[in-house]
Amino acid sequence: MPEWLVTTILILVKLGFVFFLLLTGAAYMVLAERKLLGRMQLRYGPNRVGPFGLLQPLADAVKLVTKEDFIPSQADKFLFFIAPGIAAVTALLTFAVVPFGPPIRLFGREVPLVICDLNIGVLYFLGLSSLAVYGVTLGGWASNSKYALLGSIRALSQLISYELSMGLAIVPVVLMARSFSLTNIVNAQAGLPFAILNPPAFLIFLVSVLAESKRIPFDLPEAENEIVAGFHTEYSGMRFGLFFVGEYINVIILSSMVTVLFLGGWHGPLLPGIVWFFLKVGFISFLFIWTRGTLPRLRYDQLMHFGWKILVPLALVNVIVTGAILLLLNPAKG
C-alpha cells in the first residue's frame, strides 16, 4: 500500500473515531447528567427506555428530529438557520487539536492519538471558542424575541469576559511548557501535572471553563427562571438539538482542555494512557454536573464583577509571578 493511502486512511479512521466518540459522548453526557442529578435530588432519572435508561439518548434524538422546526415569522431566517450550526461545529472542531492518548504503533509506524498536532493548538482552541460566541449571539439576535435578545446579550458579555481570564490562565501553562502545542504541553507534565505546580492558574481556568460552558452557577444566558430559555427560546426541533448537543460537546471539550492543560493529559500510573485521559475528562465532567446539583445562580452584575475585578487581575498577577519564578529558576534560558 502506498504511503499516502495509509496516512489518509489513518486520519479518516481517527476522524471517524473522534466524531463518533464526541457525539455519543455528548448524548450519554446528557443521560449521565440526568441520572446523576436525579440521584442527587432523590429521583431516579430516566430509567424507562432500554436497560437502566441506556437508550434514552436515542429516544431523545428521535423526538428532536421529528418535532416541528418552527421559525418565528419575524426572524432573520439566514442567521436563524446557521446559528445552531455554528454552535455545534465550533465545538466539534476544537477536538481536532486535543491529544487523547500517547502515540501508538500501527502498521509499523508511530500514530499520534490526535487528529492534528498543531504547533499553535492553544491559540486554535481559544480562537474557536471565541467563534462559538457567534452561534449564541446570532441565534438570540436572529430570533427577534426580547427574551432571546436578553439571553444573547448576556451570553456575549459573559463569554467574552471569561475568555479573557481563561486565556490568561493558560499563559502560565504555555510559559512552563515552553510550547503552544497541546501534545508538548502534555509531555511537559510527565512528572507533575500543572494543576499541582500552579494551582492558582488551575482554579482560575476551572472557574472560567464553568462560565464558558454556560452552566450553573454561570448559566445566565439561558437562566430559565429569568429569561425563559435565553438565546434559544425560539428554537425547536433539531435546531434546538444542535444548540443542546453543542453545549454538551463543549462540556466534554472543556473538560479535556482542563485535562490536557492542567491534569497531565494521558499521563498516569498503571492504566493505559487513553484510559487515564478519559477518566480525567469524566471526572471533570462530573464536577460540572455536581456544581449544577448544588449551587444557585449568580446575578448578571455579580458575574461581571467576579470576572473583571477578581478573576482577570488574579490571572494577570499569576502570569507575572509564574514568569518571574521561571526566570529565577532558569536565568540562562530566560
Partner 1 sequence: MAKTETMTINMGPQHPSTHGVLQLVLELDGEIVRKITPHIGFLHRGVEKLAEHRTYHQVLPLTDRLDYLAPMHNNLGYVLAVEKLLGIDEQIPERANAVRVMMAELTRIKSHLVWLATHALDIGAMTVFLYCFRERERIMDFYEKISGARMTSNYFRVGGLSRDLPDGIEREIRAFIDEMPGHVDTYEGLLSGNKIWQKRVMGIGVIGAKDAIDIGLTGPALRASGVDWDLRRDQSYCDYDKYDFQVITGKDGDTWTRYKCRLDEIRESCKIVRQVLDGLKPGPILADCPKVCLPPKKDVVNTIEGLIHHFKIITEGFKPEPGEVYVGVENPKGEVGYYLISDGSPHPYRMKIRPASFVNLQALPQMAEGAMIADVIAIIGTLDVVLGEIDR
Q: Where on the chain is the footprint of partner 1 (CB under 8 A)?
A: 37, 40-43, 146-147, 150, 153-154, 216-217, 219-220, 223-228, 292-302
- 188 close to 176: Cβ distance less than 8 angstroms: yes
Q: Which is nearer to partner 1, 228 or 326 (CB)?
A: 228
Q: Which is nearer to partner 1, 10 or 36 (CB)?
A: 36
Least Å from the CB of residue 80 to partner 1:
20
Q: Which is nearer to partner 1, 41 or 66 (CB)?
A: 41
Least Å from the CB of residue 196 to partner 1:
26
Least Å from the CB of residue 26 to partner 1:
21
Q: Which is nearer to partner 1, 52 or 147 (CB)?
A: 147
Alpha helices in the chain (DSSP H): 3-40, 56-66, 77-94, 121-142, 146-177, 182-188, 194-197, 199-212, 224-227, 237-262, 273-294, 300-305, 312-329
Least Å from the CB of residue 42 to partner 1:
5
Compute the distance between CA of residue 158 and CA of residue 223 in angstroms, rounded to an integer: 13
Q: Which is nearer to partner 1, 153 or 257 (CB)?
A: 153
Classify the phi-psi angles of 264: left when phi > 0, otherwise alpha if psi is within -120 to 50, otherwise beta. left
Least Å from the CB of residue 132 to partner 1:
23
Q: Which is nearer to partner 1, 24 or 302 (CB)?
A: 302
Compute the distance between CA of residue 195 and CA of residue 49 in angstroms, rounded to an integer: 40
Q: Which is nearer to partner 1, 281 or 298 (CB)?
A: 298
**All cell numbers assigned to 282:** 469524566
106 burial type by CB count under 10 A (0-12 exposed, 13-18 middle, 19+ buried): exposed
> Interhelix angle for 273-294 vs 199-212, to 10°?
70
Least Å from the CB of residue 148 to partner 1:
11
- 215 close to 288: Cβ distance less than 8 angstroms: yes
Least Å from the CB of residue 216 to partner 1:
6
Q: Which is nearer to partner 1, 54 or 228 (CB)?
A: 228
Least Å from the CB of residue 307 to partner 1:
14
107 burial type by CB count under 10 A (0-12 exposed, 13-18 middle, 19+ buried): exposed
| Integer CA distances (angstroms), 79 to 89, 158, 297, in order | 15, 21, 30
Q: Which is nearer to partner 1, 66 or 225 (CB)?
A: 225
What backbone phi and psi angles, to 5 degrees, belong to 253? -60, -50
Buried b (16+ CB within 10 A) or exposed e, 50-84: eeebeebbeebeeebeeeeeebbeebeeebbebbb
Least Å from the CB of residue 308 to partner 1:
16
